[in-house]
Structure 1
Amino acid sequence: MSRILLKAFLGMLMRVLYRPKVEGMEGIPGSGPVILAGNHVTFIDSLFIGLIVKRQVFFIGKDEYVTGKGLKGRLMAWFFTASGMVPVDRDGGHGGVAALMTGRRILDEGKVFGIYPEGTRSPDGRLYRGRTGVSRLALMTGAPVVPFAMIGTDKVQPGGKGRPRISPVTVRFGKPLDFARYEGMDRDRYVLRAVTDEIMSEVMRLSGQEYVDIYATKAKAA
């Protein structure tokens, strides 16, 4: 019920303020497990995706978003949970494994799992090398991958901070990618890299971003 109320209120507000242009959403299957894989340019990307897609989309988020104290902490926990965020402790040594297993559980339940293969927000608006977690999930579960591109959300909330601005937004979905030909090869690192690169190539085509063949975390550290 909380998700329905949140989506109804924020969805109406989003349509009035931003009038987002949505392209290719018919490519998202109406049932069964689906992986939505796209670029990540600002904090509110997941919120836009959750409000636009008819099915509920689950994303991994930091557990600190739902562990705050007091009234503010409870309100934040309600908001992020209703938005489809699944909290995972990603700071420990097993954070990546926990996120992967959580994604697999969501897909095994026939739901929609959203993931940003870059692993973090782009530091400069360019598209960075994808990590292979998305391809492992696709090969382990057999779920199709629908690539998507967020265009303009970085102008709505530059740097992922501050009060959102009014600026045009486009969300573009590609056709589902089927990797059934690689069934049983989810531990082959060459296959995982090839599948991930194919997904990122589609994201680049949809977004029009310049591609950088290094990880975004490395670019941020530099």
Structure 2
Amino acid sequence: MGDLGQPGSGGGGVMHQFSEDLCWAESQADAPYWWPLYKDAFPSLVHMERVKKDGWAQRGGIDRLLVLESGKTLHVEEKARRKYYPDVALEHWSNYERQIPGWIEKDLATDYFCYVWVPKAQGVLFPFHTLRKAWLTNRESWMKQAEYRQNGFYIAKSPNPGYTTYSTCVPLPIISAAVKDAMKVSWSSMPDPAPPVNAPDPVRAAVEVFQGRLFVTADCPQRAPISGHRQRAGPI
């Protein structure tokens, strides 16, 4: 969890000092608003647990565990901002000087990304991997607009002791539309199914399209093929 400060002038942002940001973020981790926020998102929520210690969960982008009535456990990464700005900051460099990628560039173990504006008592909850797909699809365009501060985009720079964190701030309507679009899935061709292992030799069926209609030709391996036998299956 972290605070991203505020947008600045030029191509970057003027941030709070790292120690101040860290103390504020830690103070928000146990804030009372998390329970009603998650209860609003998941009505069957029965328990939540904050991940406090450094380990695989924290490094995998998991700040909190949510347990539903079904026993399902959800993993959430959290980001809080102390002031309201109508955008979402996506950290693309965790350490710019050492070229260490930020969390949006990583295939994290978390399920959701929760981004809250504390003074407004509001937040957004994105499926993390859908959000990341939206970022990967639009990264080049968003970063270019942020570099030149166009259309509400900007780069937020957070100076820390010995390194700088860079985030691309994306206007809320744009990122919401991009995540919605990223939910659409498609395929270009249907892969052949894997043959069953040690299965008996079945009746082979060849599917062919003839004059806009679908026919199935059966060929039994125990006897000679029945030439020209077609079973009409209707239009496709």
Q: What's the TM-score, normalizing by structure 2?
A: 0.28
Greater length-normalized contact order (CA 8 Å, ≥ 6 residues apart): 1
Greater helix content: 1
Q: What's the TM-score, normalizing by structure 1?
A: 0.29
Greater strand content: 2
Larger Rg: 2
